[in-house]
Structure 1
Amino acid sequence: MTSLHLSPAPRFLADALPGARVRDALLVLGGVVALSILGQVAIPLPFTPVPLTLATGVVILMGAALGPTRASLSLGLHLIIGMLGAPVFAGHASGWAFASFGYLIGYIPAALLVGTLARRHADRSVWGTVGISVVGSATIYSFGVAWLVTFLGIDLAAALAIGVIPFLVGDAIKAAAAAALLPATWKAITRFSAQGAAPTRTDGYRPQPWESAR
């Protein structure tokens, strides 16, 4: 009889990598580095103190790919490093006394929500990925707008005008990119795993793609 070694199905893209503790530590640190680098791709806009960046898209991808725990740890570490003076925020900013700081706070709960939804396989379909992108962006905006109201002393309408509306088109593009990338990556992983799947047993059991034969 064919014996099978059953492994749990990967819940997040990062779980497809080998290892455990070392992998998780490297992924957390890698998230800090990735956000610090890609966050510097910023376009200042003359009508708002909030720059246009790739950071929100990176946060959503981190939440989906790393899961809520690893992504939030990575983003929390990134926030702490920047508050301590390292120029890791957009435009090589650091500290906390600037208009877009609220968005940085919002990255952490956004990643938690996106990762939680990804755990339920929301990132394995196009529309599911669009949905988690909307949830993640809305969470980031809620913290960013609240900070703008407090830090700049403006009303809610003004905060929405300078902190949300100018970025909606860009967010739609990021959501479309995530919707193209994440489900396709999952399909590729499943297809690759299936190539090494165990043979069908004589008792009719059909092993899953993530199960390996011994």
Structure 2
Amino acid sequence: MSTATAAVARPGKVLADLLPASRTKDIALVLGGAALTGIAAQIAIPVPGSPVPVTGQTFAALLVGTALGARRGFLALAVYALAGMAGMPWFAEGTAGFAMPSFGYVLGLMLASAAVGALARRGDDRSVWRTARAFLVGEAIVYAVGVPYLALSTGMSLTAAIAAGLTPFLIGDAIKAALAMGALPTAWKFVGK
């Protein structure tokens, strides 16, 4: 095994670390991660009875965290959140601001991106089942923040918020995890693991 291959394969690196290190690269990756999340959020399917649509936003945010690592992933999602709060219409269904029932999910995405980034740095994006676990942890964090925020912002009971803001999304989350289970380990194999 060559030295370059050993450096790529060992845990402690995320995919973004394979690019030459520079502040410009980090800024571009953070802004690109925010933009990817904003674009993916426009893939939205309304859910009857829920103020929260199914979107590509969560999938993108977790991929961003996994590929960029905890720090850059968190910063990318913070840029996404701050720009949306400032009026950039790139939250789900082209919305902006923070006075909406789904904003708690946006806050959860920042924490989830950091968590999956930390797991990826430990090597959890290199095998199918560890990738699934990382994505499930990320999804759980998004819901742990988003569902209570939904309940508080709408006056729903926690049970009603779970029914409207969690249960309808479980199948989609399983599909997103399955996509990641294929994509991330394959990316590592492609770069030489």
Q: Give TM-score scaled by structure 2 length.
A: 0.93
Q: Residue 70 of structure 1 is aligned with which of 69, 72, 87?
A: 72
1:140 is aligned to 2:138? no
Q: Residue 178 of structure 2 is aligned with which of 169, 176, 179?
A: 176
Aligned partners of 1:62 and 1:156: how far apart in 2? 30
Aligned partners of 1:59 and 1:160: how far apart in 2? 21
Q: Residue 95 of structure 2 is aligned with which of 93, 115, 118?
A: 93
Helix, strand or coil: the match of 2:105? helix
Matched ranges for 1:107-186 at <5 A: 107-186=109-188
Q: Residue 31 of structure 2 is aligned with which of 29, 32, 38?
A: 29
The answer to whether the 8 Å contact 2:47/2:168 transfers is no
Aligned partners of 1:59 and 1:164: how far apart in 2? 17
Runs of 4+ in 1 over 3 A off after TM superposition: 4-10
Aligned partners of 1:156 and 1:72: how far apart in 2? 27
The amino acid of 1:82's aligned partner reads: G
The answer to whether the 8 Å contact 2:34/2:80 transfers is yes
Using the TM superposition, give the Cα deviation of residue 154 of structure 1 relative to its aligned residue in structure 2, in angstroms: 1.3
| Root-mean-square deviation over aligned CA pairs | 1.7
Q: How many residues align?
A: 188
Aligned partners of 2:45 and 2:159: how far apart in 1? 23
Structure showing the higher helix proportion among its residues: 2
1:100-139 deviations in Å (ceiling 9; x for gaps): 1100000111011101111110110000000001000000
Aligned partners of 1:62 and 1:5: how far apart in 2? 24
Using the TM superposition, give the Cα deviation of residue 36 of structure 1 relative to its aligned residue in structure 2, in angstroms: 1.1
Residue 6 and residue 138 in structure 1: after superposition, are their counterparts in 2 closer, same or farther (change >3 A)? closer
Aligned partners of 2:15 and 2:28: how far apart in 1? 14
The answer to whether the 8 Å contact 2:33/2:76 transfers is yes
Q: Residue 48 of structure 1 is aligned with which of 47, 50, 66?
A: 50
Aligned partners of 1:96 and 1:5: how far apart in 2? 45
The amino acid of 2:161's aligned partner reads: A
Structure 2 unaligned blocks of 5 or more = none
Using the TM superposition, give the Cα deviation of residue 6 of structure 1 relative to its aligned residue in structure 2, in angstroms: 11
Using the TM superposition, give the Cα deviation of residue 18 of structure 1 relative to its aligned residue in structure 2, in angstroms: 2.2
Residue 165 and residue 17 in structure 1: after superposition, are their counterparts in 2 closer, same or farther (change >3 A)? same
Helix, strand or coil: the match of 1:123? coil
Aligned partners of 2:4 and 2:134: how far apart in 1? 33
The amino acid of 1:75's aligned partner reads: L
Q: Residue 16 of structure 1 is aligned with which of 15, 18, 26?
A: 18
Using the TM superposition, give the Cα deviation of residue 172 of structure 1 relative to its aligned residue in structure 2, in angstroms: 0.2
Larger radius of gyration: 1
